[in-house]
Amino acid sequence: MSTIDLYRTVRLIRRFEERAIEFVRSGEIVGGIHPYVGQEAIAAGVCAALRADDLITSTHRGHGHVLAKGVNPARMFAELMGRESGLNKGRGGSMHAADFSLGILGANAIVGAAGSIATGAAWAHRRLGRSTVAVTFFGDGAVNEGMLLEAFNLAALWSVPVVFVCENNGYATTMPVDSAVAGSITGRAKAFGMPAFTIDGQDPEKVLAATTAAVERARAGKGPTFLECTTYRFDAHHTFEHRARLNYRSNEELAAGWLRDPVEIQGARLSADDRAAVDTEIEALLDAAAGIALGSAHPDPEAALQYLYASPEVFS
């Protein structure tokens, strides 16, 4: 992916999230979201290394991942607003976005749970003779979850073509990582015999380079790789913090985090004219996307049980 394309992706994610926060404040998005502001380089760099038929699983903070994998922003806005034109017809919402046609097997509100889904899916595709690779995203808080460690074990044992991407933003909700993780995060993966690396998660090009190597290794049948991407969440863990005003981070810490803004890091690699052109393009795209979402119908309450069960005969 070119320098300008990487910038386009980080800029798209940033402005999408900022607009989504505005929709939370206006009431168009009910219940709030987990903003991805500050972590855009990871989604952009990782997904740029993937083929269209590769797979991802995501987290409760997953808008950036699905946008980077190619989701139409209008459908994502609509899903957040609970509209029929949404990715999952308004039934999934922020934490359950999925689009199988794009290889997005779903965001997941259960911390660490998506790792086992990605591992199983990658294993199944390999059994079918395909060269598909799966990537699973999770936060630093997930490395203490048993289901993720079990996924590590099976992925390493069976040489599954999966890449584990830890987005270490320093906090599991409000708990500092140093208070929650004994030893090192990469040490978790190394204990299962897989290569593990710590990457600058604020630089899209460094993330892309590391992920490209991991994906090539997986596709060649050499098994899983673990990438710890160090990053910083600029906004709240959840938008409820905008009202609750939790004081677990100082103003000085937040200001220091903003000094390594992935949008600025990648934007500095472009000419002023190219950057302005991309910014204008993204604003127009999101204007149109928001308009489509806001104009979409809400689901009919009579259809509340549609898609809930595998068979409609359950109620016949």
What pLDDT, on the 0 to 100 scale, is given for residue 316?
46
Per-residue model confidence as pLDDT tens digits over 116-135: 999 999 999 999 999 999 99
Rounded-to-integer distance, Cα 62 and Cα 97, Å: 8
Average pLDDT over residues 191-208: 98
Do 112 and 58 meet the contact criterion of CB atoms below 8 Å apart?
no
**Which amino acid does the sequence have at 149?**
L
Rounded-to-integer distance, Cα 168 and Cα 6, Å: 21
What pLDDT, on the 0 to 100 scale, is given for residue 54?
98
Q: Is the pLDDT of residue 21 over 70?
A: yes
Eight-class DSSP state of 157: H
Chain-centre distance of CA 13, in angstroms? 10
What pLDDT, on the 0 to 100 scale, is given for residue 306?
83
Do 58 and 66 meet the contact criterion of CB atoms below 8 Å apart?
yes
Average pLDDT over residues 214-230: 98
Look at residues 229, 168, 156, 223 and name the one whose alpha carbon lies nearest to residue 197. 229
Eight-class DSSP state of 101: G
What pLDDT, on the 0 to 100 scale, is given for residue 311?
65
Confidence of residue 314 (pLDDT cuts 50, 70, 90): very low
Do 232 and 260 meet the contact criterion of CB atoms below 8 Å apart?
yes
Rounded-to-integer distance, Cα 160 and Cα 152, Å: 10
Q: Is the pLDDT of residue 312 over 70?
A: no
What pLDDT, on the 0 to 100 scale, is given for residue 303?
86
Q: Which residue stretches of the chain are H helix?
A: 3-26, 40-48, 63-68, 73-80, 114-127, 146-157, 185-190, 204-219, 241-244, 251-258, 262-267, 272-294
What pLDDT, on the 0 to 100 scale, is given for residue 313?
55
Rounded-to-integer distance, Cα 181 and Cα 6, Å: 32
Mean pLDDT, the chain, whole residue set: 95
Q: Is the pLDDT of residue 315 over 50?
A: no
Per-residue model confidence as pLDDT tens digits over 39-76: 999 999 999 999 999 999 999 999 999 999 999 999 99
Confidence of residue 309 (pLDDT cuts 50, 70, 90): confident
Rounded-to-integer distance, Cα 251 and Cα 254, Å: 5
Per-residue model confidence as pLDDT tens digits over 238-279: 999 998 888 899 999 999 999 999 999 999 999 999 999 999
Average pLDDT over residues 223-240: 97
